[in-house]
Structure formats: structure tokens, C-alpha cells
Structure 1
Amino acid sequence: MKYTIKYEGNNGVIDFNSAPYLLKNPEALFNFEISVNSTLNQLENREIIDCFYFGGKSVDLEIQILGKNKEQLIDQLDFYFNNDRELLSPSKLIVNDYYVYCYVIKSENRYFTKFRNFEVINYTFKFTSRWIKEDIIDFRRNDDIKNEMGLRYPMNYPFSYKAVKRELMINNENYASAKAKIIFYGPCVNPKITINDNIYSVEANLLENERIEIEPFEKTVIKYTAAGNAIDMMNYRYKKQSVFTEIPTGTSLLVKDSEFSCRLILYYERGIPAWS
């Protein structure tokens, strides 16, 4: 299996598959460990697992820098890594379809010499999330309507069509429930969808080229106007159920009004990127 590995920072993208930057130990990205909360039952002489959780992770990656201008290339890497930390805005380390948020927190030179045109530097990446894959599902206006043969007419029309509702389905292919970013597109009034009887809705009037984004990680509900202005709509969300409820694994029924379009982005989270 060939792995496409790259770094996407606040100042640009670096390809780690070929010169001048080459990742020497990609296998380190597939090492896995999870944190555990447990209770020791002394009477029964056993440990009871209460839960598993992501507790952060650090990975040492060896990067070979190759080129006659290796010093400038190293400085370029340092600029990217330092800028991410200065902004407190993590970069993405991407492996095929998966990415993880991270910072570079340490570097160690392995084979320093000024008389050759390459260096190997060990960088410590601090992961601040699990590995994530995005599954984007679009539902267009009126895509819950289909035409079926209806009443027959005696003259020039041997058949007619009638509009009927059809089921809309989403499939969470991950082994666990998935966070979902939901985007409602205007024009529409009070957009609402229902997934497995859970309601995701916002009381709002959206004009053409406006949208509302329900963001599951930051727990925000934001309206974006056609001019690009952001308006906090948190107080206008549906409150009898959580609009941040995760989508269960497997197939779920989605119900929506025909008069607007929406997008779901499912976030599949794992301890390591998929091998295949």
C-alpha cells in the first residue's frame, strides 16, 4: 500500500513523500495506544475498566532534508512549525484520506555535518486529536421527491406522473458513532432535518447564498451572510434535543423539508489511520 503523507500548516503544504523532504519512518504513524480509566476491585482481585479515552499522543518522525540549500530548507520547516505554535493553530498531518491535528514540539539533529547535502532531523509531533476521515453527503432541494406513474388520461397522454416522497438514507461506515457538521443552505426558513428521531434545526431566515453551520467540535451554530459576515445563532437552535448529537454507526433515516439543500460531513475518528 502506498501512503501519501503531507503536512498542511497555516503557511503552506509540505509533501513528505519526495525530496526535498522525505519521511523515513512512516510506520511510526501506525503505532497505537489508548488511555484507560479503571477501578481496582480489591475484594475480587481484579481491575474494572470504566472507560477508554484519547489522552494525547507524541510521535517521533525522522525527516530527511535533501538539497544543496539544505540550511534554507531546514529554516523553512522551522518557520512553518514555529508559526503554528505562535498562532496556537494546529497543523494537519495527512495520511491518504485521514488527518490528525498536531504541533511540532521538539527537534533533534541525527547526522549533522556541513559537508554533505542532506540532513536527518527527528521531529516530535504532538497529536491533539484522533485520526479523522471526512465523509461528505449532500442533499439537494427536492431530492426527497420522485416521480411515479399516476392517473391515466384519455386523450394525448397515455400516462402521467405524480410526486411522492422517497426515503433519504445516510450510512456511518465507522465502527463508532460519528460527529456531524450540518450545513443548511438558503433560501429557506427555519431549516430542519431529523435523523433517527433526533431533530437538528435552527430558527432562521436564510436568503440566497447564505448558510448556517452546526459545528460539532467547537459546539457552535453560525450563520454566514452572502457578504461573509458571521452571526452567532446558538440561541436559535432547537433545544429540546441536542443539535450536536452524534450519528450512530450503520444506516440511518434522514427526513427533511423539500424546499432547501443541506450538507452533512461525518467525521470518522480512529486511533490510527486506516491501513488500506
Structure 2
Amino acid sequence: MMQLYYEAADGTILNLMQNGIYAQDPEALTQNTWSYTTISGVNGLARVKRFYKNVQTAKMKLSIMAADKEEFNTIMYEMHRIFEKDVRNMTPGKIWWNNFYKEGFVYSTSNDDYEELFESVEHEIEFLSVNPSWIRRTTYQYRAQANETGTLDYPRDYGYDYDRSDILEVLENKCIGEANFELIFYGAAVDPQITIGGNVYGLETTLKEGEYATVNSITKKIRQYSITGEETNIFDKRDRENNIFQKIPEGILAVLRSKEMQVDITLYDERGEPEWI
């Protein structure tokens, strides 16, 4: 069964397919439009210079049907409070379509066909997406393994120098093109790094047991967290010889790390439409 719900910035969930709220035309949310610019080409004919996406809006009708007046008022009040709070706080929520989400605000609502005797109304919402893409997050976990000494001789050349303290694994990026990502390095580790598809992602910092550091290519933030949860900006601790925010290429990629290194890699699959089912 399809899942469709709104997740507020504070984590509150509003189901849009049950409990008295029923989306009538969720496919309206899947509209996908690229904007474009043109330049004059030879013979005066225009040609496309680039494609890009702006913020987008979509309208969706919700049928509100309650068992009694009290339930109806509760549904309408809670729905308005959730949407209104995110707009007033300027904190986008998420509309989830199964495993995909789109960030934005429900910034406009209207009502039609109110039936007081049946505690029902047709409630139209308009969603403003701050990021026009549907996003699915997929996390790959790489954990510590028993260490050995010596050298490794793989049957094919991956273009890396490594010994038995390293491990060579794979990561498959099934996204459409390069993918944004978040890395989480776990302590204990000194100068943690990982090589993905030939690019080195590394930090010049020390992580104690229980500490971790995050690298996010979307926000361009690098943070370190202590055991107690204290957050420190360690942007200046990045490996400056490599681009730590380089997107992850599409396809099957070699992943090189030390066997003691523990790291999570989350890929952001960004696309114009979610997977329908």
C-alpha cells in the first residue's frame, strides 16, 4: 500500500492517506519541469544553453471525513497547526512518497463542499518545494575487520597502493548521475579517510572512542561530535589536497579504507519523480 505523509520540521507525522484524511490526487505532486535558457546560434537559430530547476508548487486535494464533530475539529486544527508552524518558523517539512521525500512548505490552503451534517470537507493544499527533487537516502555501512600484516596482490589493478591493513570493497551508486552524500566517520580513529571511485575523502582530526564526524556534500558542513553530543565545526580540518565534497560517481565503484576504519556512506538519490510503487 502506498505511503503518503507529511513530516513536520519537529518530526510530527501527518498521514495523508488515513485517519480521516485521504489524498484524492497525489499524482499532482509528481509534476516534473525543467526550466531552460537559450542563446542565438548559427543562422539565427536558438539553441539550449542550460537546463535548471526553480522552486515548484503543486496542489493536492484532501478529503476530510470524520465520525463526529469533535473528530472533525481535531483533524482540521492539528493539520492547520502543523502546516502553519513550519511556515512561521521558516523550517521546511517533508512530503514522503513511500521511500522518497520532497522538502518544502504547505503555504496555501482552501476548502470546498463543506458538509456539516457529515463532518466532511474538500481541503486543497498547495505545496512549495524548496528543493524540486524527490530524494531517497540509501546508507551503506562499512565496519571494522580483523587486521593482518603483509601485502595484498589482487588479480586486477585498481590503481591503489594497499597492504593487508587495508580492505578493498565496492559501492554501487544506482542514482541518475553523480550523487550527493553524507559520510560519518566513527572513532576511535586518527586522520580518518576513505577512497571512493578514486577520490579521497579525509579529515585531519582525531576521533576518540564514541565520537564521530560528518561530511555533507549538500550543506557543505563538516562537524565533529563528542561522546556527550557536543558539536564542533571542523571545516578547516578537511584534507585540502582532495575535494572532500566531490559527488559520488554513478556506477560500481571501488572503496578503499583501513580495516579499522568504520564509516557510513549515505547517498542522496535525487530525481524528478519518485518511484511510484
Fold agreement, TM-score > 0.5: yes
How is 1:117-266 mapped onto 2 (pairs within 5 angstroms)? 117-129=119-131, 130-142=133-145, 166-266=167-267
In structure 1, how many angstroms separate the alpha carbons of the residues matched to 2:192 and 2:248?
19
User: Runs of 4+ in structure 1 displaced over 3 angstroms?
Assistant: 163-166
Residue 68 of structure 2 is aligned to residue 65 of structure 1 = no
Post-superposition Cα deviations, 1:109-153, rounded to whole Å, max 9, x if no partner, equal: 1212433211111100001111001110000012797xxxxxxxx
Give RMSD over aligned pairs: 1.9
In the TM superposition, residue 237 of structure 1 has moved relative to its aligned partner by: 0.4
CA contact (8 A) 2:6 2:13 kept: yes
Instruction: Find the counterpart in structure 1 of residue 53 from structure 2.
Output: 54
Q: TM-score, normalised by structure 2?
A: 0.88
Q: How big is the shift at 1:165?
A: 5.5
Unaligned runs of 5+ residues in structure 1 are 146-162
1:193-224 Cα offsets, whole Å, 9 max, x none, are 11122111111111111000001211000000
Distance 1:214 1:190, change over 3 A: same
Number of corresponding residues: 258
What's the % identity of the aligned pairs? 21
> 2:217 & 2:113 partners in 1: Cα distance?
44
CA contact (8 A) 1:10 1:80 kept: no
Alpha carbons 1:174, 1:268 under 8 Å: kept: yes
Amino acid at match of 1:75: Y
Alpha-carbon separation, structure 2, partners of 1:17 and 1:25: 11
Task: Report the Cα offset of residue 166 of structure 1.
Answer: 4.7
Q: Please give the residue correspondences for 1:28-47 in structure 2 after superposition, counting only pairs within 5 Å.
A: 28-41=28-41, 43-47=42-46
8 Å CA contact 1:95, 1:273 repeated in 2 = yes
Cα pair distance change 1:110/1:225, threshold 3 Å? same
Contact 1:65/1:119, CA 8 A, preserved across alignment: yes
Query: Which is worse superposed, 75-84 or 30-39?
Result: 30-39
The unaligned stretches of length 5 or more in structure 2 are 149-163
For 1:144 and 1:131, how far apart are their aligned partners in 2?
Answer: 41
- Hey, what's the Cα distance between the residues in 2 that align with 1:36 and 1:106? 27
